[in-house]
Amino acid sequence: MNINKILSVFLLIGGIFIVSCDDFLTTNPSVDLTDNQILHNQTGLQMLLTGTYRAMKDGNGDLHAVSPIGLKSYSTGVASIDISSYPGAGNSIYNAYIFSSNAYVADQYFSRTFYQNFYEIINNANLIISNAHNAANKENELKGQALIIRARCYYNLVRLYQHTYIIAKDKPGVPLYLEPSSSTTLPKERSTVEEVYLQIEEDLLEAIELLKDFKRQNISIYNSDVAYFLLADMYLTKNEWGKARDAAMKITSKYPLMSNEEYVSGFAEQNNEWVLGYKQTDDDNWYYNSIGCVWYWEDGTQWSAKMFYPTKEFVENVITKNDARYTFRKIESHPTIYICDKFNDRYLGGQPILSDMCDLRAAEMYLVEAEARTHLNDNKALEILNEIQALRNAPMTTKSDNLLEAIYLERRKELYGEGIDLWDTKRLQRGIVRERNYEEGGHYYSVNIPVNSNKIILQIPRYEIINNPNIEQNPDPESNPVYVP
């Protein structure tokens, strides 16, 4: 991997947003900035970090995959039983939804794009981590953020390219690179899933210590709250209930649930529940790739992506009409289906392109805490679940109900369209069954994916197999359809 090439790309991105760095940049207008210039001073390292944040936010050139919008859309498209994709979504998400081989085989879009882009971001994080000592009084601040970035990328990678921890911790995960890549870097074999998770945990815990006094300027910056959020989710995936509860409480004790008015406002404006999110402005936005456009269905507009719609079963039998999360309606141009207004956008010149983007929000941590407490036989689990249900005016779970299933159902209702589906499908070891009934408001395509299908993990990209003699490929789902623990 060419470090100077990567540095150039990320610094050009970062330089757009750091006016104070103009003098530094103009001392050498060449794009080919050396690593000494960048990595040996605080200004250069901050530029690299800012550029890395921007690349993550915008998908490093592949918005439909590795950006927050892209990854959430992929997870929803692959695994949701409540949300249908539609051919208008384009080939990538729709291929994932119908489980076309194009969605998971080694030489296709998602397999190569997730792998390449997350490792490029990891390399930038490694550059910052290895050189943060050159940042004077900003060492802890820069290193802590870079550790969270690296941890999150590895958490995404290990879940995308292998089955869930509980059944596959001894299986190949992904290669662990903890130092910046160079021309002399030797290709590594895949570390086990357990080894990858241990590194993620180590990075997040170190980041929390480094960032204990850090005050971020806005909620698009990673801080200790983001680290605790990721830790809670990771511990839940590992069935480490006490640790999951404790990490989740770092969020639930600090971030209130959004009001119903905020919920139905279309997630267009950040609010006090958001732990991580991204502001859009007239000058800096995703434009037609905005989350509002993804869910927009009105005809006659070029920003109508028509990527997803909720199924009739979900609208009429899962969420009751008096529930605050009932954000569904019919439109004349597509009378057989419901559309969803959960992600309504702010408008500029009549175009829905300026919605803020919620990445992580506290409601998920309330439900993580409730699930963890249930496994610990803690009566407070029901109290937490009822708190959410009462706020949303939803049917209340009682002691006689199956509490875990009630929590899983509440996750579907509270977080639909927010990209948790693939991760829940894997960790809970559920199948994916969808029956086509588009003409009556159902799914657009039928699939029946068994529990632990090898179709829900991506194959290692072909270019990595060719160039790395130490790496092992995942099973071919056509010849080895199901993973048996």
pLDDT at 5 over 60: no
For the domain made up of 40-278+357-467, give the CATH fold: 1.25.40
CB 445 within 8 A of CB 434: yes
Q: How far apart are CA 23 and CA 1, in angstroms?
A: 29
Q: How far apart are CA 163 and CA 485, in angstroms?
A: 10
Tokens of 334: 């597509």
CA 138-144-149 angle, 5° bins: 125
CB 334 within 8 A of CB 342: no
pLDDT value at position 483? 98
How are beta strands 334-340 and 328-331 bridged, if at all? antiparallel
How are beta strands 328-331 and 357-361 bridged, if at all? unpaired
Query: How large is the average pLDDT for residues 227-256?
Result: 99
Give the percent of the chain with pLDDT over 70: 88
CB 200 within 8 A of CB 177: no
Alpha-carbon 197 to chain mean position: 17
Alpha-carbon 484 to chain mean position: 27
Output the furthest CA–CA distance in the chain (Å, rounded).
70
Query: How large is the average pLDDT for residues 437-455?
Result: 98
User: 162-203, pLDDT tens digit by residue?
Assistant: 999 999 999 999 999 999 998 899 999 999 999 999 999 999
The domain ranges of the chain are 40-278+357-467
Residue 376 pLDDT class (50, 70, 90 cuts): very high
Average per-residue pLDDT for the chain: 89
Q: How far apart are CA 47 and CA 145, in angstroms?
A: 13
Residue carrying the six token digits 């998602």: 110
Tokens of 239: 């069935």
User: 80-133, pLDDT tens digit by residue?
Assistant: 999 999 986 567 899 999 999 988 999 999 999 999 999 999 999 999 999 999
User: 284-340, pLDDT tens digit by residue?
Assistant: 777 777 788 888 887 777 778 889 999 999 999 999 999 999 999 999 999 999 999
- 3-class SS of residue 242: helix
pLDDT value at position 17? 32
How are beta strands 334-340 and 357-361 bridged, if at all? unpaired
Spatial CB neighbours of 458, under 8 Å, sequence gap ≥ 6? 104, 110, 111, 114, 115, 160, 161, 474
Q: 476: which DSSP letter? A: P
CB 194 within 8 A of CB 174: no
